[in-house]
Amino acid sequence: MRVFLVAVAMVVVGALVGASLPVWAAKPLPPGATAVIHAVHTAAGQQRHAALQRLMAPEFVWSFGGNADAQQAIAAWKADPKALKALHRATGAPCAASPDGSVECPRQAGRAARARFEPTAQGWRMVSFVAGD
């Protein structure tokens, strides 16, 4: 009877934990996205701005204040190395494929710093890195 109750408790806990995750959290990431995420992670960790810019979409969102330009983001990041540390952390955590086909790192970031990747005509690219709403 004790074994049965423990088994039931494990199933209930597992169901509750699973219910808190969106269904898409378990989807495997597209191989192209995985390669770009790894390259961004490496470039951010080494503060290689030119390499990062090649991995970014030209219309890159890095501020909710209307800034949508990869060159502006790189200039801001050169002035604030903490941003690259946050990008390195975000891309080093588990990522999630979204239903719209994009990938976000880390998964379930909420309002924390998060990077978004999408397929483009040039292949997978980082399209945003923001924090907040």
DSSP letters, 12-71, are: HHHHHHHHTS-GGGGSPPPHHHHHHHHHHHHHHHTT-HHHHHHTEEEEEE--TTS-B-HH
Q: List, for residues 57-113, the tens digit of each pLDDT value.
A: 999 998 766 667 899 999 989 998 899 999 999 999 999 998 899 999 998 888 888
For residues 7-36, average pLDDT: 55
Angle at 37 between CA 35 and CA 40, to 5 degrees: 110
CB atoms within 10 A of CB 82: 8
Name which residue leads in pLDDT, 11 or 38.
38
Query: Which pLDDT tens digit goes with each residue over 22-70?
Result: 434 457 898 899 999 999 999 999 999 999 999 999 999 987 666 678 9
**pTM for the whole structure:** 0.77
